[in-house]
Amino acid sequence: MALEHPITADELRKHSSPENCWLVVNGVVWDLGDFAPEHPGGAAVIHKYAGQDASAVYNSIHAPSLIQNELEASKRIGKIDESSMGPGPDVSETKTPASPSTAKNGGGRRRPLLTLLSSHDFEKAASENLSDKAWAFFSSAATDCITKEANAAFFGRMWLRPRVLRNVRDISTKTKMLGNDVSLPLFVSPTAMVRLAHPDGETVIAKGCSKSGIPHTISTNASYPMADITSCADTTFFFQLYVNKDRAASEKLLKQAEQCGMRAVFVTVDQPTPAKREADERVKADAVALTPTPNGAVATNDSRGGGLGRTMAGYIDSTTNWEDIKWLRSVTRLPIVLKGVQTAQDAIRAVEHGVDGLLIGNHGGRSLDTSTPAILVLLELQLNCPEIFKHIEVYIDGGIRRGTDIFKAVCLGAKAVGMGRPFLYAANYGPEGVEHLIEIMRDEFETTMRMMGCTDLSQLHPGLLNTWELSRMVPRLTDAPQHLRGPQSKL
Amino acid sequence: MALEHPITADELRKHSSPENCWLVVNGVVWDLGDFAPEHPGGAAVIHKYAGQDASAVYNSIHAPSLIQNELEASKRIGKIDESSMGPGPDVSETKTPASPSTAKNGGGRRRPLLTLLSSHDFEKAASENLSDKAWAFFSSAATDCITKEANAAFFGRMWLRPRVLRNVRDISTKTKMLGNDVSLPLFVSPTAMVRLAHPDGETVIAKGCSKSGIPHTISTNASYPMADITSCADTTFFFQLYVNKDRAASEKLLKQAEQCGMRAVFVTVDQPTPAKREADERVKADAVALTPTPNGAVATNDSRGGGLGRTMAGYIDSTTNWEDIKWLRSVTRLPIVLKGVQTAQDAIRAVEHGVDGLLIGNHGGRSLDTSTPAILVLLELQLNCPEIFKHIEVYIDGGIRRGTDIFKAVCLGAKAVGMGRPFLYAANYGPEGVEHLIEIMRDEFETTMRMMGCTDLSQLHPGLLNTWELSRMVPRLTDAPQHLRGPQSKL
Amino acid sequence: MALEHPITADELRKHSSPENCWLVVNGVVWDLGDFAPEHPGGAAVIHKYAGQDASAVYNSIHAPSLIQNELEASKRIGKIDESSMGPGPDVSETKTPASPSTAKNGGGRRRPLLTLLSSHDFEKAASENLSDKAWAFFSSAATDCITKEANAAFFGRMWLRPRVLRNVRDISTKTKMLGNDVSLPLFVSPTAMVRLAHPDGETVIAKGCSKSGIPHTISTNASYPMADITSCADTTFFFQLYVNKDRAASEKLLKQAEQCGMRAVFVTVDQPTPAKREADERVKADAVALTPTPNGAVATNDSRGGGLGRTMAGYIDSTTNWEDIKWLRSVTRLPIVLKGVQTAQDAIRAVEHGVDGLLIGNHGGRSLDTSTPAILVLLELQLNCPEIFKHIEVYIDGGIRRGTDIFKAVCLGAKAVGMGRPFLYAANYGPEGVEHLIEIMRDEFETTMRMMGCTDLSQLHPGLLNTWELSRMVPRLTDAPQHLRGPQSKL
Amino acid sequence: MALEHPITADELRKHSSPENCWLVVNGVVWDLGDFAPEHPGGAAVIHKYAGQDASAVYNSIHAPSLIQNELEASKRIGKIDESSMGPGPDVSETKTPASPSTAKNGGGRRRPLLTLLSSHDFEKAASENLSDKAWAFFSSAATDCITKEANAAFFGRMWLRPRVLRNVRDISTKTKMLGNDVSLPLFVSPTAMVRLAHPDGETVIAKGCSKSGIPHTISTNASYPMADITSCADTTFFFQLYVNKDRAASEKLLKQAEQCGMRAVFVTVDQPTPAKREADERVKADAVALTPTPNGAVATNDSRGGGLGRTMAGYIDSTTNWEDIKWLRSVTRLPIVLKGVQTAQDAIRAVEHGVDGLLIGNHGGRSLDTSTPAILVLLELQLNCPEIFKHIEVYIDGGIRRGTDIFKAVCLGAKAVGMGRPFLYAANYGPEGVEHLIEIMRDEFETTMRMMGCTDLSQLHPGLLNTWELSRMVPRLTDAPQHLRGPQSKL
């Protein structure tokens, strides 16, 4: 049905009703009348832009390739006659559609990358550089943000106990995650919608990881199709899965992940229902197109303010339970890691169900406020079932901001730690930003290793920490299986 | 004695002495000379307005129907000739007698209701919208407000321990209070003088509860007669009783409560004497009429600043003691709940005296500063006499502001929780405000249920919490009765 | 040597050298040449005012009667010819010698007394009303003020456990201190130099106490002679003694105290050396006459800044030790109370040495910073040697600001509590101020009694408190005498 | 090669390339072409000033005598013709080369020395007086400064338990450090680059210590040659050693230390690798000459921001280990103290290796953030191996700011305590500043002794402290050697 001649603005405007609904996206006119009712972000936003150019709002969260991938070719009407389009009010709010993330500050006015000395500096820069909507979506957490802040603060309540007079000239920070070599016990936790931070979205994180040799976990809600991400860089990739109410959609994603060479699936288990993130919901979402994510997830808008987080979580299957691990095993050959385990009880259960790994964490405090700070859960495992670390790989994320935080988590049994938000903030600076952040973390971690008198990760153990302030706050299980308890607590 | 012709301002002014004392209230002239000495708020305020229009100050806290109900018809002199009344200085301070609650901001300038996302937002809006006097009366607490703040803060010192991979698609939050169905384990705690928040007073709370299916507890010090409240909405009502020095007055109220179909009486036991609320007392009370409450309570002004709270507590019988439970049983067939129990010792005693329920709490910190935070008392019961929850229904109020707070209280044994101040703040927005607040709480509580892996209230138990920081602060009783101790602490 | 005719300013100026040194004090010319070297505040300040009118600086800390009492009549030269004196530069800094305490604000601009609702309000008013020097001297404490602040804050870390449904209509707050009836378990702790707060000095406190029936402890460093104070009011007086290096001076004071009808001597044992109070020392002392106190103590200035506190402590005998209790017994028949006991060990030792009472405290945090908060010491006695309270009367001061604080101290065994600084602040308002403060404390304490379900002081016991947060911070003695330990801790 | 005639600016400018590189330092022209590549601070800064006057930047951190000492005479070209030199842009940024430390405020505008009453006052004054670079270098600590702040704060979490009624007229604060008499249990911890605080560098500290009788520990990274320091004052000197990768360089320094009459070597063991001090690294280092230290240490600049701390730590040998104690014994006859021990395990090991002393500490929080606060480590020794204090002298530094801090450390077993930063701040005021600080500390310590009832250091013991809040945070060793455990804990 594509027209040969460019479509003029006058012709476009004739199709500005729900029944007759054309939109321009990046110079191409599409007929979205049939699609609108299926649009996960709701038909309203499509109808709002009927007969107009919707590029700006589209580009703010979608990869350019998405619309071609998702729609049938028959819906493509043709090219727009750019000369006929005036600067209409519909695009006035975002003049630079190619750089949605720099809405607040132009690139040239940002703090220079080399002046950023820590993950905290990246956060501060992001608060200055990102649009209000992006900053709200990335930085927010559940309700009063108590868990978000405690995640980080609790690391500062454990003291290091350095051992002196060790030869620490040559050290190694190498380890393995599920058999894959990594240069540091660090990986990028899955984060949604990186395009809000940088027009190239998740690819900038992938490229940064590639240079530094650390794994990248790709979110179901990524801005870019996963193949676009995995093909752009050479590093270890993991796939994060929200189980879809439509199980076939999830199975399709798992197949794609395998085909893309991903090495494990991180199944999120700590968000069976949309979370309440007030800061996110306060920023009006009406100018942002809420659409299906490229990986096929289905989201719905609702009346609670339209926060991006709540909207995107709409397709998640709240019936998922322990029995579904069998289903997962049946549809993928990837190792399975449960993301969001928060008690020793569930960690033990995970071992019993034969999964390959655990990611201790609480979604960065984004799911349920006052859920237990992540490092306290790790300590709970050490005090109740220290032998568990011999049976399963345990990771942790939430609040890790310093090399000392990584060190402490590894001392308490973590095989590796994930960082999420800091990488979103670094992505704003492109691949160089991501690489710079990783090298900062590496320098801090190596410095910590040497100061602690350690030369490789096998030397890290709980006795290098003073956890006495926190260990009094740890629940003691009376029914942990004997073989996981270990002979005696090492703390 | 009512005159046929309208009374002119000139005639009114002839009756402006204590001995010859007419006042205008809402267009009607009353002879208040005989009543003034019996006026619980003192004769002074009546004499001050002798020969003048007192509608503004009357309406600020009384229901329009009160004066007809309470005075004999013979005291009604007639209608005032409105055209003869100039805008006298006596009414200049409150130009909008019909809307006493919006003295500070007009209705149109308030934050829109739909932008309020949490109970905290309602509090912030109320601090902007209410008059100084109303805000001081509602928001104040005893002396340094340590208990008021700790009530809320202590909820944040207990961590949630979510269980993952449960099917939480279908959940129920239903429960019963004393046999009455409620849609949430939530009820409105009694609050005095709601007319300070909205001209329709307690009826707006009742209407909001009616739509949402949660109970409303009506205060002895309500602005409106209880029948006006219970007849305007279809929900479960409880009656809060301050035992009057004049026991016959209390008995009359209990009969009225039964006739109005109330389902229980909440006898307040935590305020045998007026409390010291400095913020309330700092706001001068001289322009506010201190009068008998519609439910017959008698209040007296005194020299300590005239705080509304201190004045209205004057009639409370400070001799009330455990033996009086027999008297209560003899004068009402309603279930009896003790409101304000604060120790395990008194909880045990309540069981021994055969009452039907307990409301753990400290009057929102308004009675005695540094009294124990409410949730710590509930924990005290769990640790010392966990079997008590099988013998008696236990409720709690004080500091509940989030769905997670409700969840934690229910885990520790509460059958339901009450909220007070937030409903006063919501009442400022009318029934829609109250309903909006309840739906916010419902959404938060349901989200918490799902995130915790729970599908109905029977699954909640202390093991879902990490209370180790607070449990070290709980007194251990050595003399709790054996049958209430339970086999072993579940914490 | 007194001259018959008034002395002119010209004649006065001829005596302006150290060798020939006349000064005017309140209209009288004195020859201070011989006295200057013995002036405890140093000769410098006298020589500075030689040939001038020194009334302003004299009046700022001394009673008018002092100079006649202390100097021989032969040193009185005569009256000054006021008409010959111009407004010289020497008096320009304090124009209102009769009201030294109102240097900052005139009396008329102060907050009205009846608007002060709590001891905190008195402190705030004093910070506005007092001169910089007076505020610094009264409000300061040792070095970083950690103990001063902890004294008060630790009361807020103990929770009250109210018992409900008690008949609390009629209550009594009466008790005895060393056999003397007091209307409240409250007394005025000794405070130096009250004239800095009010021109009538200690007499305003005495008069305020007299009306309210609480005891007043008069400091060795009082501004007024003790007989002036005790003769002006009818209440119980105690005498606070700093043991002088010149023991005869102390013995003379004790005799005076007996003659004045005082009922006990409080011997200060927590300040054997001058303390470092930086805020006090920062305010230059050079315009303030440092002189002997009326009770005969001798002070010396030094090079460390001239803080009033350090200067006045110079005469204290640092050799005083337990053996000196025998000497005290030999020179006075008054009951002996040790003021400033800070450990269970010393409390036990005090019992062994047969003293009559103990005042637990740390000089309001003014002696040694980071010394133990007073209420923690009282708890230390309860946990280690609870029987001690049967052998000796125990008082406490430091940080008491609320009626709940008094209640808590009595629960933990205190027979009565002292307040110091708040009475200095109240003295600024004259006797009415002192009385108003006492009535505030009485109202708060009575309210607390009723809210707690108590009708007389015999019902107060440790079980009414939740001290579990603090009791974990209390040292446990292994060597407390068996008969003082009691059968079992009541906590 | 020295020229007879003064060299003109024109001639100088001909040698402004890396290959032909003359610089003026304090009026003398040097040929630095050959030396530049060996310059530990990097060749860049030398090349930058080729053909120019580099006196300002040289003087900001080097002693005037350094360049003659370190370079061969043949490199001295001659004197500059001052009249030919204009005020070139190269010196414009520091107009007062002789007073590098007063870059911010002129000497006359500083707070007068006598108004400084405490070590905190010295810190405040330094923050006002020092250049940004000097303040950043001195005041900074590792990453988030958690340990730096906890070092000080933890002293405030231990309470003093004063004993009353002791004769404390005559007291002695004398003790010995490794057999050397000291007037106070206080010494100056090693601090680098004192010239940033005062042009006379370490000599001002030495002179101040000399008058007050306390030891001075000279840093490997001192601004002045050690002989210049030790020869200028008569006090006990210790030498702090960073073990150099070039062991011969270290051996040479140790020989010099012996020849200078130093009494011990403090071998730093808590910084085997450069630390990350962000505040230091934020201040650009490009105008500061990074050069070899006079004691022969070799530093290198790098790409991480050029913080002085990171640069100067470059030569430290990260292979140093316990076996190297034998090497140390073989190359020096000085007593050996390990500086930076942070666990009971390493303290025990130090005893086993026969060293003479331990300095408990964490480099003032400058090495590794969240390492254990120093006083907590001392408490760890007391609780796990109290007998260790009989076998070895134990010192401590980190966070000592008050006389009470010294007292507490000695109670817990420290033979003496070190202070670092406060002496840098005092050095800004010259020898008088250092002496004033010492006398403040002496006054505070003596006051504490008397207030505590102690007359000499032998009476100090753990029972004088309440450490119960911190002792719960101390790790308990299960494998401490029996002979070091002692019969029973004294706490």
B33-62 tens-digit pLDDT = 988 876 656 677 788 899 999 988 788 777
Question: What confidence score (pLDDT) does residue C97 get?
Answer: 37
CA-nearest of A185, A219, A186 to A202 is: A219
Residue B244 is classified by DSSP as B
Q: What is the mean pLDDT of residues B236-242?
A: 97
Question: What confidence score (pLDDT) does residue C287 get?
Answer: 37
Mean pLDDT of chain B: 88
Strand-pairing partners, residue A419, are A188
Burial class (CB in 10 A: 0-12, 13-18, 19+), D375: buried
Pairing type for strands A159-160 and A465-466 reads: antiparallel
Residue type, B390: K
Distance of alpha carbon C233 from its chain centroid, rounded?
18
Res D70 pLDDT > 80: no
CA–CA distance, C35 with C289 (Å, rounded to integer): 14
Q: pLDDT class for A491, splitting at 50, 70, 90? A: very low
CA-nearest of C437, C451, C454 to C401 is: C437
SS3 of A123-154: the string is: HHHHHHHCCHHHHHHHHCCCCCCHHHHHHHHH
Mean pLDDT of chain C: 88
Q: Which of B473-477, C69-73, C109-113, D281-285 has the lowest mean pLDDT?
A: D281-285
CA–CA distance, C268 with C418 (Å, rounded to integer): 14
CA–CA distance, B286 with B205 (Å, rounded to integer): 28
The tokens describing B469, both together, are 């920081």
The C-alpha angle with vertex A86 and arms to A82 and A88, in degrees rounded to 5, equals 120
CA–CA distance, A205 with A433 (Å, rounded to integer): 9
Q: Which residue of C has its CA nearest to B145?
A: C156
CA–CA distance, A41 with A298 (Å, rounded to integer): 8
Residues of B whose CB is below 8 A from C117: 278, 281-282, 305
Question: What confidence score (pLDDT) does residue D97 get?
Answer: 37
Question: What confidence score (pLDDT) does residue C20 get?
Answer: 93
Residue D153 is classified by DSSP as H
Pairing type for strands A265-268 and A237-241 reads: parallel
CA–CA distance, D385 with C145 (Å, rounded to integer): 34
The tokens describing B186, both together, are 């939530």
Q: Which residue of A has its CA nearest to D371?
A: A160
Give yes or no for a contact between A215 and A180, defined as CB atoms under 8 angstroms apart. Answer: yes
Give just the sign of the alpha carbon dihedral A142, A143, A147, A151.
positive
Q: Give yes or no: C363 in active site.
A: yes
The CA distance from C55 to the nearest CA of chain D, in Å, is 29
A58-106 tens-digit pLDDT = 887 777 777 877 788 889 999 999 888 875 444 333 333 344 444 454 4
Question: What confidence score (pLDDT) does residue C429 get?
Answer: 97
Would you call C167 and B370 a contact, using CB atoms and an 8 Å cutoff?
A: no
Residue C102 is classified by DSSP as G
Q: Which residue of B has its CA nearest to C463?
A: B475
Question: What confidence score (pLDDT) does residue A310 get?
Answer: 64
Shortest CB distance from B159 goes to which of A270, A278, A370? A370
Q: What is the mean pLDDT of residues D68-73?
A: 79
Q: Which of A419-428, B188-197, B371-380, D279-288 has the lowest mean pLDDT?
A: D279-288
> Is D351 in a helix, a strand, or coil?
helix
Q: Hey, how many other C-beta atoms are within 10 angstroms of the C-beta on A429?
A: 26
Strands, E, within B165-246: which ranges?
175-177, 180-182, 186-188, 216-218, 237-241
Give yes or no for a contact between D206 and D239, defined as CB atoms under 8 angstroms apart. Answer: no
End-to-end CA distance of chain D: 71
Choose from B111, B114, B117, B164 for mutation: most chain A CBs within 10 A. B164
Burial class (CB in 10 A: 0-12, 13-18, 19+), A479: exposed
Question: What confidence score (pLDDT) does residue D473 get?
Answer: 93
Residue type, B300: T
CA-nearest of C71, C90, C82 to C32 is: C71
CA–CA distance, B51 with D331 (Å, rounded to integer): 106
CA–CA distance, D32 with B100 (Å, rounded to integer): 86
Residues of C whose CB is below 8 A from D165: 269, 320-322, 324-325, 338, 346
Question: What confidence score (pLDDT) does residue A8 get?
Answer: 92
Shortest CB distance from D269 goes to which of A159, A165, A446? A165
Distance of alpha carbon B250 from its chain centroid, rounded?
18
Burial class (CB in 10 A: 0-12, 13-18, 19+), C169: middle
Q: pLDDT class for B92, splitting at 50, 70, 90? A: very low
Q: pLDDT class for B471, splitting at 50, 70, 90? A: very high
Q: Which residues of A have a CB under 8 Å from any CB of B? A: 143-144, 146, 269-276, 278, 281-282, 304-305, 318-322, 324-325, 338, 340-343, 345-346, 362, 367-373, 376, 472-475
Q: What is the mean pLDDT of residues B179-186?
A: 98
Res B290 pLDDT > 50: no
Give yes or no for a contact between B307 and B142, defined as CB atoms under 8 angstroms apart. Answer: no
CA–CA distance, C340 with C323 (Å, rounded to integer): 17
Would you call A475 and B466 a contact, using CB atoms and an 8 Å cutoff?
A: yes
The tokens describing C479, both together, are 């060597």
CA-nearest of A360, A423, A310, A368 to A145 is: A368
Give yes or no for a contact between A427 and A142, defined as CB atoms under 8 angstroms apart. Answer: no
CA–CA distance, D125 with A97 (Å, rounded to integer): 52
The tokens describing B69, both together, are 């109900």
Residue type, C60: S
B306-330 tens-digit pLDDT = 566 665 667 899 999 999 999 999 9
Q: What is the mean pLDDT of residues B224-250?
A: 95
Residues of D whose CB is below 8 A from A404: 143, 368-370
Q: How far, CA to CA in Å, does C449 sit from each of A164, B284, B359, C163, D260?
A: 59, 27, 22, 10, 73
Q: What is the mean pLDDT of residues D477-487?
A: 81
Q: pLDDT class for B460, splitting at 50, 70, 90? A: very high
CA–CA distance, A142 with A270 (Å, rounded to integer): 13
Residue D246 is classified by DSSP as S
Percent of chain A predicted with pLDDT > 90 = 72
Res A490 pLDDT > 60: no
D380-433 tens-digit pLDDT = 999 999 999 999 999 999 999 999 999 999 999 999 999 999 999 999 999 999
Question: What confidence score (pLDDT) does residue B87 get?
Answer: 59
Would you call A276 and B164 a contact, using CB atoms and an 8 Å cutoff?
A: no
Beta-carbon contacts below 8 Å between A and B: 107
Question: What confidence score (pLDDT) does residue A204 get?
Answer: 97
CA–CA distance, B477 with B386 (Å, rounded to integer): 12
Would you call D444 and C143 a contact, using CB atoms and an 8 Å cutoff?
A: yes
Res D101 pLDDT > 70: no
Q: Which of B384-393, C82-91, C433-442 has the lowest mean pLDDT?
A: C82-91
Q: What is the mean pLDDT of residues D322-335?
A: 98
Q: pLDDT class for A485, splitting at 50, 70, 90? A: confident
Continuous segment of H or E residues that includes residue A176: strand A175-177
Res D237 pLDDT > 90: yes
Pairing type for strands A416-419 and A186-188 reads: parallel
Strand-pairing partners, residue A76, are A30
Would you call A341 and B118 a contact, using CB atoms and an 8 Å cutoff?
A: no
Give yes or no for a contact between A320 and A241, defined as CB atoms under 8 angstroms apart. Answer: no
CA–CA distance, B428 with B125 (Å, rounded to integer): 9
Give just the sign of the alpha carbon dihedral D38, D42, D46, D48.
positive
Question: What confidence score (pLDDT) does residue D62 get?
Answer: 77
Q: % helix / strand / coil in chain B, to the nearest 5?
A: 40, 15, 45
Residues of C whose CB is below 8 A from B471: none
Choose from D377, D471, D473, D476 for mutation: most chain A CBs within 10 A. D473
SS3 of B352-378: the string is: HCCCCEEEECCHHHCCCCCECCHHHHH
Res C300 pLDDT > 80: no
Question: What confidence score (pLDDT) does residue C431 get?
Answer: 97
CA–CA distance, C365 with C489 (Å, rounded to integer): 29
D354-363 tens-digit pLDDT = 999 999 999 9
Question: What confidence score (pLDDT) does residue C66 get?
Answer: 73
Q: pLDDT class for D212, splitting at 50, 70, 90? A: very high
CA neighbours closer than 13 Å in the CB half-sphere of residue A293: 32
> Is B266 in a helix, a strand, or coil?
strand
Question: What confidence score (pLDDT) does residue A68 get?
Answer: 77
Q: What is the mean pLDDT of residues A337-362?
A: 98
D315-339 burial code (b ≥16 CB/10 A, e <16): bbbbebbbebbeebeebbebbbbbb
Mean pLDDT of chain D: 88
Would you call A451 and D305 a contact, using CB atoms and an 8 Å cutoff?
A: no
Pairing type for strands A16-17 and A20-25 reads: antiparallel
Would you call B451 and A146 a contact, using CB atoms and an 8 Å cutoff?
A: no
More confident: D473 or A312: D473
Choose from B304, B368, B383 for mutation: most chain C CBs within 10 A. B368
More confident: C117 or C34: C117
Global pTM reads 0.89
> Is B489 in a helix, a strand, or coil?
coil
Q: What is the dihedral of CA B115, B120, B124, B129, to 10 degrees?
A: 70
Q: What is the mean pLDDT of residues A319-328?
A: 98
Q: Which of B99-113, B424-438, D140-154, D186-200 has the lowest mean pLDDT?
A: B99-113
Would you call A372 and B451 a contact, using CB atoms and an 8 Å cutoff?
A: no
Res D146 pLDDT > 60: yes
Res B91 pLDDT > 50: no
Q: What is the mean pLDDT of residues C84-104?
A: 47
The tokens describing A270, both together, are 């700590």
Q: pLDDT class for C41, splitting at 50, 70, 90? A: low
Q: What is the mean pLDDT of residues B153-164?
A: 98
The CA distance from D156 to the nearest CA of chain C, in Å, is 6
Burial class (CB in 10 A: 0-12, 13-18, 19+), B187: buried
> Is B28 in a helix, a strand, or coil?
strand
Question: What confidence score (pLDDT) does residue A42 get?
Answer: 64
Would you call D404 and C474 a contact, using CB atoms and an 8 Å cutoff?
A: no
CA–CA distance, C93 with C83 (Å, rounded to integer): 20
Percent of chain C predicted with pLDDT > 90 = 72
The CA distance from B163 to the nearest CA of chain A, in Å, is 7
CA–CA distance, A125 with A129 (Å, rounded to integer): 6
Res A209 pLDDT > 70: yes
Whole-angstrom Cα Rg for chain A: 24
- The residues, ordered by sequence, that sit 6+ positions from A303 with a Cβ below 8 Å of its Cβ are none
Q: What is the mean pLDDT of residues D343-363?
A: 98
Residue type, C323: E
Shortest CB distance from C468 goes to which of B276, B371, B474? B474
Residue type, D429: Y
Mean pLDDT of chain A: 88
Question: What confidence score (pLDDT) does residue A367 get?
Answer: 96
Q: pLDDT class for D481, splitting at 50, 70, 90? A: confident
